[in-house]
Structure 1
Amino acid sequence: MPLPSFFRSADYTPRKLGWLAVTLALAFAGGGAAAALGLPVGWLSGALVATAVAALCGAPVGINHHLRMAIYVVLGTSMGSALSPETFKGIATWPFTMVVLLVSVPVMMGAVMAYLEKVAGWDRRSAFFAAAPGALSAVLAMAETSGADTRRVVFGQSLRLFILVALLPAALGGLGHEPAGTLPINPVVPDVTTLVLSLLVGIGGAFLAEKLHFPGGAMVGAMLASGAVHAFGLIEGRLPDLFLIVGFVTLGANAGTRFAGTRLETLRRFFVDALAAFFIATAVAVAFAVLGAWLSGEPLTKVLMAYVPGALEAMTIMAFVLGMDPAFVAAHHLARFLLLALLIPVVARLMFGAAAVPSTDVDLDRTEPKD
């Protein structure tokens, strides 16, 4: 029986290791500078900005898949420490916010797609897949077989994540949310034995979730397993700050390196369109978040974090750092991921028919997109 992907061996060449070291050095420098300035989620956002700039300048920066999966386990394990019996009492309000979220998805996609196709002049296939709010891996796999311009899809999704990670914490602070620091404030594990047990629990949960092909398996599985033992009082405390700093920096670097291979001409052509699409999607998310918060009685900032069109892992980790309920945010982003993964193939088949030839109306950037 094969092992999950993050347990398999990898072929590390000196060149790949060298650029991985450069990537991490840039990310730590950017994250450290942002944290020193006291910026919200500084280690994460600073690393993202530093590596994105390097990527756009042509540097072949990148984060190894195995390192990324290991970091998801570490962060998921620590996020599980934020779960408590009070967390599960709050589940009673989730059906209200879940229903509103699921209604918001087609509205958001329709609004963004209408702009990209009718105003920006994108072909319908590319506009459809670029409008999907998250689930990039699943969306990209479907876009590649539908004739869409995958560079546009990846660029639009990557720019959206970049803006959310860089600016959303400050925006939530403007709405009155506190704290907005660089690291979570819940207590650290009291001793080495508890630290080792916490990691083993997280690894076990991640292993099981990956074997079951659960979306965001490494992080979500580790968070659920860790959350279970914390909710029952078997283990107390999150992982030490050093673990979290490495995790935040690596995650930020991974998001920033999505721009690797993107030419400046590609950036110039797609930037305005993707930026306008982001603001349209965010406006829809805010409107539905206001409705969801009103129906459920939950804080607007918490519901907005669950509704914004960002990646499951990044938004959940941001919620954790900002002192929100990571289980609430993860559950909603996971629900949207599953909805998109299930319905997009059906809708795409109805709209576009069987597999089509790739779009030929644009000069594509032929470099390989980052996933």
Structure 2
Amino acid sequence: MLNAVVLSLLGSVLFVWLQIPLGAMFGAIVFLMVAGKVGRRLSLPGPTLTFVQLVLGIGVGVMVPSDLGAVSFPPLMLLGLITCMVGQVSISYWWLHKREQWSKTDSLLGSVPGAMAAVLVLNEAQQKPSGKVVFTHTVRLVTLVILSGVIAADNQAAEFYFFTGEESYWLLAVAAAAWGSGVVLEKIGVPAPYMVTGMLTAIGFGVMMPEASLTIPPVLVFIATSALGALIGIRLVDVSGREFATHLRSGVIATTLSLGVTLLCAYVFSQILEQSFVVLLMSWVPGSIEAMTVAAIYLGLEPALIMLNHITRMVILHSLPLAVKPFLRPGREVSRSEG
């Protein structure tokens, strides 16, 4: 157990030092995959997933600043965002289920455009968690990180941090309230309870006490991201070379189809809303909030509006466990290719 924790942190520190995008996550994934392949027995402390849910859930919640209320966000833009998300999920689901012969559950989880932490929690809730779901999301994440890097390749990096200022002791109260609420939701069987309560508690606190300027220490985000990478790395250890090639193809095709839907929706709604096509594209692409907002700052493309779209998308996706609970079963369907 201790070996896995130490290895994941070492990998995260090394990859961040090498300035690899999302190094905290990818470093942990690579180090634990290598360790698992050479025969090391790996496990993580029981509360690891709870910690990841709390930190990332609160992290999404505190990224909702009060001044975003002044940003113009017409109902048609929200309709476009939801339409785009539905299209992304639908076409990816069709490909994974009909063409790749995945089970309905795995196809649905593999089709969600982003929010890897929420998907991981839902995946782990199955009796037999699927490595290919995690692998597909990893491929999507790598692809989108590369694309966001290409977008900002010719620009100088700007000083930009999501978590700035003095850390507030109110964070402890928010974390305690989120944890207590999460325990209650967990007992009644709600998937990803701590992620949901962390996000909602942080948003509610920010609305009621904006003067507190709630922030979350970067070290907590780093550790939680490393822990998420460790959870992913351990799950990917069992993926064989043959499965690697197959799942890589599935992930690339599903990501490409999803991006195609994003391009189409961004173009159509740019005509309807008389908004910049590039702004809508960066607002709705299933990339990370950080990468897309920084790229928007680089290019001068309404970063507040782009950030608001991504926050809305993440709120929807982090609430996904509540929506899909009725469809989760104790067991896992077997894909036709597995049967």
| TM, length-normalised to structure 2 | 0.70
Paired letter, 2:80? V
Map Cα deviations across residues 174-230 of structure 1 (whole Å, 9 max, x no partner): 33499979993432325xxx33x3122122024324524665431332233223333
State the secondary structure of the residue aligned to 2:112: coil
Q: 2:238 aligns with which of 261, 276, 284?
A: 261
28-37 vs 69-78, greater mean Cα deviation: 69-78
The size of the alignment, in residue pairs, is 314
Task: Measure, in 1, the Cα distance between the counterparts of 2:181 and 2:132.
Answer: 32
Identical amino acids, percent of aligned pairs = 15
Paired letter, 1:227? I
Instruction: State the match for 2:172 in structure 1.
Output: 199
Task: Measure, in 1, the Cα distance between the counterparts of 2:59 and 2:158.
Answer: 17
Task: Measure, in 2, the Cα distance between the counterparts of 1:303 and 1:243.
Answer: 27
Task: Measure, in 2, the Cα distance between the counterparts of 1:238 and 1:163.
Answer: 30
Paired letter, 2:177? G
Contact kept, 8 Å, 2:163 with 2:216, in 1: the verdict is no
Uncovered stretches (5+) of structure 1, i.e. residues with no partner: 1-16, 145-149, 309-314, 349-354, 365-371
Aligned pairs for 1:1-371 (under 5 A) are 17=1, 21-55=2-36, 59-90=40-71, 93=73, 95-104=75-84, 107-116=87-96, 120=100, 122=101, 128-129=107-108, 132-133=111-112, 135=119, 138=122, 154-176=130-152, 184-189=161-166, 194-195=168-169, 197-212=170-185, 216-231=192-207, 232-289=209-266, 291=268, 299-300=279-280, 303-305=283-285, 307=286, 324-325=307-308, 327-334=311-318, 358=334, 362=338
Contact kept, 8 Å, 2:148 with 2:292, in 1: the verdict is no
Map Cα deviations across residues 259-306 of structure 1 (whole Å, 9 max, x no partner): 13233343344443343333323433443355567766593365235x
Task: Measure, in 2, the Cα distance between the counterparts of 1:340 and 1:187.
Answer: 35
CA gap of 1:108–1:55, structure 2 versus 1, over 3 A, is farther
Contact kept, 8 Å, 2:140 with 2:251, in 1: the verdict is no
Task: Measure, in 2, the Cα distance between the counterparts of 1:58 and 1:276.
Answer: 32
Task: Measure, in 1, the Cα distance between the counterparts of 2:215 and 2:132.
Answer: 34
CA gap of 1:128–1:319, structure 2 versus 1, over 3 A, is same
Contact kept, 8 Å, 1:48 with 1:252, in 2: the verdict is yes
Instruction: State the match for 1:311 in structure 2.
Output: none
Contact kept, 8 Å, 2:88 with 2:258, in 1: the verdict is yes
Paired letter, 2:253? A
Q: CA deviation at 1:248?
A: 1.8
Paired letter, 2:312? F
Task: Measure, in 1, the Cα distance between the counterparts of 2:102 and 2:219.
Answer: 46
Task: Measure, in 2, the Cα distance between the counterparts of 1:127 and 1:79.
Answer: 25
CA gap of 1:218–1:237, structure 2 versus 1, over 3 A, is same
Contact kept, 8 Å, 1:130 with 1:157, in 2: the verdict is yes
Contact kept, 8 Å, 1:60 with 1:261, in 2: the verdict is no
Task: Measure, in 2, the Cα distance between the counterparts of 1:124 and 1:81.
Answer: 36
Paired letter, 1:253? A
Instruction: State the match for 1:7 in structure 2.
Output: none
Contact kept, 8 Å, 2:262 with 2:281, in 1: the verdict is no
* C-alpha RMSD of the superposition: 4.3
| TM, length-normalised to structure 1 | 0.65
